[in-house]
């Protein structure tokens, strides 16, 4: 009987040992990185911010969409391939894979969600991170989120405003002024916190990081753009002036302009680093980079995108314009040009914001209120290019001169179509768009059919309805 | 992070180690008691009396149709155990869709063919109380049930009553099958028996082929009408050399299929040794089974060892050890991997030869499983009324696949892959049982606790590269192999299940037994607040055959009415569906980026099912005929699904609960035993009439579950209806509001495309415009088993039948597919064949409009097994030193009849769609005949 009691107690031991062990249920699944235990130090916070940059890059750069939305649509770049016809005819609701990708805003929301995750999780980290680093990381993703919303508003107009990750119910499209207002608020907060320049651990200025991550300059440039898009040129000018006052940026001599496209001059304010094929996953590999690839089309090998023709180049750039030779390989004997401004392996594929862009934005902001200032801004860019100063008799109306300058200075940098929208010149400059089309809303892209799934509140843009 | 993980893993191991140690201590302890007990009663009869080793959990009182005895299975050569149960085990649905041994069939107990949700629909299978992993190994894809040697089976029992389901709690809802292996308990002396058989697997009936001029005429027509490049007929790539089957590549054979099929052999060797005595008993089974399928390269080899022992330590203390060790090798036909890739015609003939035709030597596809099931069980009879039982067991399996494809067959590229998997499940179960007669009526009470720890992992590395140089067959991978071509993955997942259970039954008045069961299950598979589930059930059995009212009915020998009501659950197979997930996305400025991939769902719960059943068992004519009818309801609520989120959410859809499914069924069986003169006839007929339907469907169910509609069967077949083709573009309907033409997935219809009916009139064809055209579920299914004996001769015949159920057969000549970029450029053209129904699909680059040739019935009847044998005269045998012996001839799958199906076998499509390229169709099942001899010492 004694032995029996021993046995019973042993069995009971097993039971109680197991019962008391709550760890029995805390089984780690090594196939999943659990969010609740992930955010715990500076390193993980930095990785999540890095994720936000990667996803933002996918949003604006997958398949070189930044170029397709702007310069290809406005006709400054020509796409070789089956999409040519639909682009030329402004059939943006085409079913071709490239258009379906362009219509869909999901990739933007993936990036926005990651920004929201960082904003919610990083401040909760208590150890192994400095307070100022936490606030800097949050400010960085605020900039990224504002940058994404600004791009979305330019593409689709009203868009759903997702500001946190807890709400997953369907959202309606929010009035774009509200979305832009939200972006400005984010930027104003980020501006307080972000550094003007990043420094290396040894305290030296880290120019590479400064130009590829959110900084004060990047914030101001984005604010200037957002205000200009909203038509508030007073505030836009304010942002331009603040940026100039930072005294960090300068125009690169025209001989070295190629460096600005690679993102390594004092002219660059902000751009996104290209993806590294080997580390990025396959789903969004950069093989779609239109500037990287030669394709066989109709039996001939052609680049996927082409620039302007020989005649158009000469019409846009005068003989003394130093930019012509930097942007194109011009063969005056055979009368051919080859576009070379942007290549697939540019360090920063597209200078999203560079100083020349901001100076011209300053000119645009003051063109009616203060033409003298506008001319001063404009002449900085003209002089650098090797052009004579603005002369109304040669260059026409100031506003026209500014637009022309933007078109040739910022050629193939993802600005052109949106510049035309701001200047109200779309129907004038873009083939197959009539003033009536503009009135009906052709400027905005159609919303993809996927966006309507499980979201009955989404309405299509009127032109594409 | 790794540190935390490591420490938790350590803790878990410590815990398990601790449990095992405790049990060892218990074992050692009992062993020592056994040695020091002075008066050891070594009388066998006492042992037998006290031991009372009947299966207390059995729900099947008296004769029952839900038990299959091993002796009915042992002579049948079979690779997969479930196929032996088709038609034999009442209430168990099996669809054997392929002639490839070692590939699992579709099986279910409580509902039928619920794809795409099928993964969690399989029953819980226990071998000697160890719950085994039932899904095929990830690496080798070998069916775990092919480990079980039919020769080694004592019985297989189906548990589907609500009380039994509740006893298995969170895992019980899909039904439970208990497999018990043989032991030596009945042996009066050492018995050795050898059972050897060998047989032929015949070439199956094959698809008709067309060759020569006919083939060229048809090819020409396809090329002309489909407007495709040579070698690419409607998206099917054909190497030009193969587009005419009458060339040297096929040895100038008129039917290229003959290259792929030929008669092959099956061998089956079984050696059993057993004994019992005062010490206990043992049974050793050694088996070797080798089935070479008639499909070249396909086959299965099984080597296994089973040892089942009992040591009677004292007359109160018993120690059982069970060990199963097995090795399985499965051969695979590579051409089968890439679907059949040939081009069958509507008239059931095949036009083109397969694109991939390979020699055994050039391809390596080795699939191997090692499998161990082990258990020790200590039983201690504390008093005559109290019994203690402690079980420690494990189910351990490693799977491996080595795969190599030469460049000659893989578009000029070498493909090589190595894949290993490991699964380990440890169970510790302790019960205390109290048994007593109160007022001469038995009371049985069991209280128990168990821990089941499961651990699953796999690693895969694969690589592709171009074949080098001029050689078109390069086996090695060169030095300049780059990282880009390699794909590697590893997976590790664990879960624990911790349970308490109680089971009480008592005969409250004479003839009426009530049973109450409750199980409390806690699992790491679910979030904290949903972790524990309670599954109670109540049942009763009323033996009313003896009551006065019925005394006049002399033909009624016994009658039992039973009824149960209770709850059980369907734990997801996949661990941690509810957990959040962070994944890397790439790299920014040298810093790895991560993103939220999935959000945590803290309210994810175990789908709960409500079970009820009413049954009647009657014995007639002095129990010569038994009839049983059982009606059941299995009502599952909160089944899980992946929610469709608005695309503004930015992370993966999460798993939620909310789908409702209800299955109702009637299992009916009739068995009889007659002796007419010297002829003995046992017959058993069983049939199940089962229907299921979706009862609740949340609005945000992702389109991947497109085949679910409330009120319709689970996995109904849906298709678009059409009436002819558009003769010109002007016929295509135009939405008067938008001016847009009728479209599917953005593709506008044009001339030549089918006139597909726009059911809801919104000018956009989507899944809402589909019609329910049928259900893969049979209206009823079942089997008819016969056993005759006459003067030493015996004959077994098992028929299975399957009535109703639909198959969609895709049309070959009415298949339109196109690259998105080429749309509206005349690519969609009919080949002049009309279909009433269409399937339409789209992905990023293609749209396909697939005509359905016909919606067919899967009704058929099959002679699964026919065995004729002769038991040798015992007197003659004993002179030779043998105690028993028999010879037999057994044939499998000899006859399929009553079928109007246009393909080869009505069971051959695993998703009830007979694809134009046979990509969801198994390789043909074949007939086989074996001759066997069994002798025993």
Predicted ipTM of the assembly: 0.85
pLDDT of B42 reads 35
In angstroms, the CA A333 to CA B917 distance is 58
Question: Which of A348-362, A371-385, B519-533, B650-664 shows the lowest per-residue confidence on average (mean pLDDT)?
Answer: A348-362
pLDDT of A283 reads 40
Helical pair A106-121 and A131-156, crossing angle rounded to 10 deg: 160
* Residue A6 placed within a domain: no
Give residue-wise pLDDT tens across range B756-781.
999 888 888 888 888 999 888 889 99
Residue B653's pLDDT band, with cuts at 50, 70 and 90, is: confident
Residue among A26, A280, A451 minimizing CB distance to B586: A280
In angstroms, the CA B536 to CA B565 distance is 9
Residues B644, A15: C-beta atoms closer than 8 Å? no
Residues A54, B593: C-beta atoms closer than 8 Å? yes
Q: Average pLDDT in the B302-308 region?
A: 95
Please indicate whether residue A206 or residue A119 has the higher confidence score (pLDDT). Answer: A119
Whole-number average pLDDT of chain B: 80
pLDDT of A94 reads 81
Residues A97, B531: C-beta atoms closer than 8 Å? no
Residues A32, B576: C-beta atoms closer than 8 Å? yes
Q: Which residues of A are less than 8 Å from B12 in CB distance? A: 23-24, 27
pLDDT of B116 reads 44
Please indicate whether residue A75 or residue B365 has the higher confidence score (pLDDT). Answer: A75
Residue (of B829, B716, B709) closest to B776 by Cα position:
B716
In angstroms, the CA A225 to CA A187 distance is 12
Residues B580, A104: C-beta atoms closer than 8 Å? no
State how far residue B742 is from chain A, nearest Cα, in angstroms. Answer: 14
* Structural domain harbouring A250: 237-278+309-414
* Residue A126 placed within a domain: no
Residue (of B322, B227, B254, B252) closest to B282 by Cα position:
B322
Question: Which of A219-228, B215-224, B437-446 shows the lowest per-residue confidence on average (mean pLDDT)?
Answer: B215-224
Residue B852 — φ and ψ, nearest 5°?
A: -100, 120
Please check the confidence at residue A285 and state whether its pLDDT lies above 80.
no
Please check the confidence at residue B858 and state whether its pLDDT lies above 50.
yes
* Residue A11 placed within a domain: no
Q: Which residues of B are less than 8 Å from A450 in CB distance? A: 647
* Residue A252 placed within a domain: yes
State how far residue A31 is from chain B, nearest Cα, in angstroms. Answer: 6
State how far residue B248 is from chain A, nearest Cα, in angstroms. Answer: 34
Please indicate whether residue A279 or residue B915 has the higher confidence score (pLDDT). Answer: B915
**Which residues, including other chains, have CB under 8 Å from residue B922's CB and lie 6 or more apart?**
B97, B98, B99, B100, B103, B908, B909, B910
* Residue A266 placed within a domain: yes
Q: Which residues of A are less than 8 Å from B522 in CB distance? A: 24-25
Q: Which residues of A are less than 8 Å from B495 in CB distance? A: 27
Residue among B523, B580, B845 minimizing CB distance to A36: B580
pLDDT of B226 reads 46
Please indicate whether residue B677 or residue B705 has the higher confidence score (pLDDT). Answer: B677
In angstroms, the CA B712 to CA B913 distance is 18
Residue A174's pLDDT band, with cuts at 50, 70 and 90, is: very high
Angle, vertex CA B857, rays to CA B852 and CA B860, nearest 5: 140
Residue A224's pLDDT band, with cuts at 50, 70 and 90, is: very high
Q: Which residues of A are less than 8 Å from B738 in CB distance? A: 465
In angstroms, the CA B531 to CA B524 distance is 7
State how far residue A415 is from chain B, nearest Cα, in angstroms. Answer: 24
Nearest CA in chain B to A93: B746
* Residue A398 placed within a domain: yes
Residue among A29, A47, A93 minimizing CB distance to B593: A47
Residues B647, A18: C-beta atoms closer than 8 Å? no
Give residue-wise pLDDT tens across range B802-842.
998 899 998 766 777 665 444 433 344 455 567 889 988 87
Work out the widest C-alpha separation in chain B, in whole angstroms: 102
Sign (positive or negative) of CA dihedral A108, A112, A114, A115 = positive
Please check the confidence at residue B37 and state whether its pLDDT lies above 70.
no
Residue B728's pLDDT band, with cuts at 50, 70 and 90, is: confident
Residue (of B321, B320, B325, B290) closest to B306 by Cα position:
B325
Please indicate whether residue B356 or residue B290 has the higher confidence score (pLDDT). Answer: B290
Total domain count for chain A?
Answer: 1
pLDDT of B781 reads 93
In angstroms, the CA B290 to CA B329 distance is 9
Please check the confidence at residue B217 and state whether its pLDDT lies above 70.
no
State how far residue B475 is from chain A, nearest Cα, in angstroms. Answer: 26
Q: Average pLDDT in the B199-203 region?
A: 92
Residue among A19, A47, A95 minimizing CB distance to B592: A47
Residues B596, A30: C-beta atoms closer than 8 Å? no
State how far residue A71 is from chain B, nearest Cα, in angstroms. Answer: 22
In angstroms, the CA A173 to CA B430 distance is 60
Sort strands B106-108 and B299-312 into parallel, antiparallel or unpaired: unpaired
Residue (of A266, A251, A262) closest to A196 by Cα position:
A266
Nearest CA in chain A to B844: A97
Residue (of A114, A97, A113) closest to A62 by Cα position:
A97
Q: Which residues of A are less than 8 Å from B428 in CB distance? A: 14
Please check the confidence at residue A14 and state whether its pLDDT lies above 70.
no
**Residue spans per domain, chain B:** 24-197+262-705, 212-254, 717-771+813-856
Q: Which range, B400-409, B494-503, B700-709, is most confident?
A: B494-503
pLDDT of A65 reads 85
Residue among B1, B582, B645 minimizing CB distance to A168: B645
pLDDT of B106 reads 86
Residues A24, B496: C-beta atoms closer than 8 Å? yes
* Residue A323 placed within a domain: yes
State how far residue A434 is from chain B, nearest Cα, in angstroms. Answer: 20
State how far residue A18 is from chain B, nearest Cα, in angstroms. Answer: 8
Give residue-wise pLDDT tens across range B629-642.
999 999 998 888 88
In angstroms, the CA B334 to CA B337 distance is 5
Q: Which residues of B are less than 8 Å from A14 in CB distance? A: 19, 22-23, 428, 430, 449
Where residue A257 sits, what CATH number does that domain have? 1.25.40.390
Nearest CA in chain A to B485: A278
Please check the confidence at residue B361 and state whether its pLDDT lies above 90.
no
* Residue A377 placed within a domain: yes
Please check the confidence at residue B357 and state whether its pLDDT lies above 80.
no
Residues A35, B596: C-beta atoms closer than 8 Å? yes
Q: Average pLDDT in the B356-366 region?
A: 62
In angstroms, the CA B302 to CA B150 distance is 12
pLDDT of A120 reads 93
User: What is the fold of B24-197+262-705?
Assistant: Maltoporin; Chain A (2.40.170)
Give residue-wise pLDDT tens across range B541-558.
988 866 666 666 777 778
């Amino acid at each position: 009987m004694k032995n029996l009691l021993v046995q019973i107690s042993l069995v009971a031991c097993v039971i109680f040992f197991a019962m008391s062990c709550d760890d029995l249920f805390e089984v780690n699944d090594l196939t999943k990185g659990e969010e609740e235990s992930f955010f715990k130090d500076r390193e993980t916070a930095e990785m999540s911010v890095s994720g936000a940059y990667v996803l933002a890059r996918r949003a604006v750069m997958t398949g070189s969409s930044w170029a397709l939305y702007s310069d290809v649509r406005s006709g400054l770049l020509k796409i070789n391939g089956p999409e040519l016809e639909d682009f030329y005819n402004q059939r943006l609701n085409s079913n071709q894979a490239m258009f379906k990708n362009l219509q869909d805003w999901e990739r933007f929301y993936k990036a926005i969600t990651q920004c929201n995750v960082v904003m919610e999780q990083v401040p909760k980290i208590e150890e192994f991170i400095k307070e100022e680093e936490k606030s800097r990381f949050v400010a960085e993703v605020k900039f990224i989120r504002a940058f994404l919303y600004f791009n979305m508003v330019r593409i689709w107009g009203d868009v759903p405003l997702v500001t946190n990750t807890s709400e997953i119910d369907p959202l309606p499209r929010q009035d774009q002024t509200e979305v832009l207002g939200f972006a400005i608020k984010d930027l104003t907060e980020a501006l307080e916190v972000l550094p003007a320049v990043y420094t290396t651990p040894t305290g030296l200025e880290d120019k590479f990081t400064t130009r590829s991550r959110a900084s004060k300059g990047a914030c101001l440039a984005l604010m200037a753009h957002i205000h200009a898009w909203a038509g508030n040129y007073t505030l836009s000018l304010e942002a331009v002036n603040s940026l100039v006052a930072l005294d960090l940026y300068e125009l690169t001599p025209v001989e070295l302009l190629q460096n600005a496209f690679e993102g390594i001059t004092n002219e660059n304010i902000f751009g996104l680093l290209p993806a590294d094929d080997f580390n990025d996953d396959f789903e969004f590999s950069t093989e779609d980079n239109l500037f990287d690839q030669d394709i066989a089309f109709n039996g001939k090998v052609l680049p996927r995108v082409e620039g302007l023709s020989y005649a158009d180049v000469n019409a846009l750039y005068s003989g003394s314009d130093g930019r012509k030779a930097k942007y194109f390989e011009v063969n005056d004997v055979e009368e051919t040009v080859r576009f070379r401004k942007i290549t697939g392996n540019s360090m920063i594929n597209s200078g999203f914001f560079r100083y020349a862009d901001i100076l011209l934005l300053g000119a645009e902001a003051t063109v009616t209120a203060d033409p003298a200032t506008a001319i001063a801004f404009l002449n900085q860019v003209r002089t650098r290019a090797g052009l004579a100063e603005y002369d109304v008799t040669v260059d026409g109306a100031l506003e026209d001169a500014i637009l022309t300058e933007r078109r040739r200075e910022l050629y193939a940098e993802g600005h052109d179509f949106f510049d035309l929208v701001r200047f109200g010149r779309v129907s004038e400059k873009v083939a197959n768009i009539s003033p009536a089309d503009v009135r009906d809303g052709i400027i905005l892209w159609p919303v993809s059919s996927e966006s309507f799934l499980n979201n009955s509140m989404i309405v299509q843009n009127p032109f594409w309805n | 992070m790794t540190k935390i993980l490591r420490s938790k893993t350590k803790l878990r191991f410590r815990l398990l180690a601790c449990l095992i140690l405790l049990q060892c201590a218990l074992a050692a302890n009992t062993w020592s008691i056994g040695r020091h007990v002075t008066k050891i009663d070594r009388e066998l009869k006492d042992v037998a009396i006290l031991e009372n080793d009947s299966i207390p959990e059995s729900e099947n009182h008296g004769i029952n149709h839900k038990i299959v005895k091993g002796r009915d299975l042992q002579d049948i050569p079979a690779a997969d155990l479930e196929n032996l149960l088709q038609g034999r085990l009442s209430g168990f649905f099996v669809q054997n869709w392929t002639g490839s041994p070692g590939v699992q069939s579709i099986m279910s107990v409580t509902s039928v063919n619920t794809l795409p949700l099928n993964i969690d629909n399989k029953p819980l299978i226990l071998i000697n109380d160890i719950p085994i992993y039932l899904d095929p190994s990830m690496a080798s894809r070998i069916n775990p049930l092919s480990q079980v040697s039919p020769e080694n089976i004592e019985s297989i029992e189906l548990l589907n009553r609500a009380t039994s389901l509740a006893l298995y709690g969170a895992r019980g809802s899909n039904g439970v099958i208990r497999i018990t292996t043989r032991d030596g308990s009945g042996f009066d002396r050492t018995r050795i028996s050898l059972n050897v058989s060998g047989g032929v697997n015949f070439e199956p009936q094959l698809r008709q082929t067309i060759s020569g001029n006919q083939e060229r005429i048809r090819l020409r027509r396809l090329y002309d009408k489909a407007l495709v490049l040579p070698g690419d007929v409607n998206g099917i790539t054909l190497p030009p050399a193969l587009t005419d089957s009458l060339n040297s590549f096929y040895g100038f054979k008129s039917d290229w299929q003959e290259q792929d099929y030929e008669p092959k052999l099956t061998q089956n060797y079984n050696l059993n040794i057993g004994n019992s005595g005062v010490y206990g008993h043992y049974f050793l089974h050694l088996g070797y089974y080798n089935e070479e399928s008639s499909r070249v390269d396909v086959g299965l080899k099984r080597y296994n060892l089973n040892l089942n022992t009992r040591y009677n330590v004292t007359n109160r203390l018993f120690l059982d050890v069970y060990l199963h060790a097995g090795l399985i090798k499965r051969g695979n036909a590579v051409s089968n991997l890439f679907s059949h890739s040939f081009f069958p015609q509507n008239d059931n003939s095949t036009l083109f030869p397969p694109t991939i035709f390979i020699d055994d030597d050039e391809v390596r596809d080795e699939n191997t499983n090692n499998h161990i099931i082990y258990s020790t069980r200590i039983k201690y009879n504390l008093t005559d009324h109290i019994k203690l039982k402690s079980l420690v067991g494990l189910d351990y399996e490693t799977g491996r696949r080595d795969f190599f494809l030469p460049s000659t067959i893989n578009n000029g590229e070498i493909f090589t892959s190595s894949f290993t998997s490991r699964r380990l499940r440890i169970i510790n179960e302790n019960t205390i049982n109290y048994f007593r007669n109160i007022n001469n009526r038995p009371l049985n009470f069991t209280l128990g606790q168990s821990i089941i720890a499961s651990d699953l992992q796999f690693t895969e590395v694969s690589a592709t590269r171009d074949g080098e140089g001029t050689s078109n067959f390069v086996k090695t991978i060169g030095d300049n192999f780059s990282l880009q071509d390699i794909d590697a993955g590893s997976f590790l997942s664990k879960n624990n299940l911790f349970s308490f259970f109680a089971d009480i039954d008592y005969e409250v008045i004479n003839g009426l037994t009530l049973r109450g069961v409750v199980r409390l299950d806690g699992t790491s598979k679910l979030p904290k607040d949903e972790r524990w589930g309670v599954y109670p059930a109540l049942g009763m059995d009323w033996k009313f055959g003896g009551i006065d009212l019925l005394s006049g009915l002399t033909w009624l020998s016994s009658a039992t009415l039973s009824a149960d009501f209770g709850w059980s659950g369907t734990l997801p197979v996949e661990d941690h569906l509810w957990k959040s997930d962070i994944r890397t996305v790439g790299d920014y400025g040298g810093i790895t980026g991560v993103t939220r991939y999935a959000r945590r769902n803290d309210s994810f719960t175990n789908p709960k099912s409500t079970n009820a059943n009413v049954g009647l068992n009657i014995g007639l004519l002095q129990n010569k005929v038994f009839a049983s009818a059982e009606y059941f309801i299995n009502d599952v609520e909160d089944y899980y699904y992946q929610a469709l989120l608005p695309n503004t959410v930015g992370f993966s859809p999460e798993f939620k609960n909310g789908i409702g499914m209800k299955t109702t069924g009637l299992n009916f069986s009739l068995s009889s035993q007659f002796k007419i003169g010297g002829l003995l006839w046992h017959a058993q007929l069983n049939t199940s009439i089962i229907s299921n339907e979706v009862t609740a469907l949340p609005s945000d169910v992702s389109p991947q579950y497109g085949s679910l509609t409330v009120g319709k069967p689970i996995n109904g077949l849906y298709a678009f209806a059409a009436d002819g083709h558009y003769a010109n573009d002007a016929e295509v309907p135009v939405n008067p509001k938008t001016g847009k033409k009728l479209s599917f997935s953005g593709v506008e219809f044009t001339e030549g495309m089918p006139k597909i009916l726009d059911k809801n009139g919104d000018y956009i064809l989507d899944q809402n415009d589909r019609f329910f055209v049928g259900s893969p579920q049979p209206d009823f299914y079942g089997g008819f088993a016969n056993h005759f004996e006459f003067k030493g001769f015996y004959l077994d015949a098992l028929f299975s039948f399957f009535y109703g159920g639909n198959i969609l057969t895709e049309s070959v000549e009415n298949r339109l597919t196109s690259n998105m970029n080429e749309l509206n450029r005349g690519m969609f053209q009919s080949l002049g064949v009309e279909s009433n129904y269409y399937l339409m699909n789209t992905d990023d680059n293609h749209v396909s409009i697939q005509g359905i040739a016909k919606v067919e019935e899967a009704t058929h009847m099959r002679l699964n097994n026919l065995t004729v044998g002769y038991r040798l005269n015992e007197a003659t045998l004993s002179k030779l030193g043998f105690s028993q012996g028999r010879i037999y001839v057994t044939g499998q799958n000899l006859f399929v009849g009553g079928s109007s199906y246009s393909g080869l076998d009505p069971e051959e499509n695993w998703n009830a769609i007979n694809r134009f390229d046979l990509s969801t169709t198994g390789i043909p099942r074949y007939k086989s005949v074996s001759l066997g001899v069994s002798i025993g010492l």
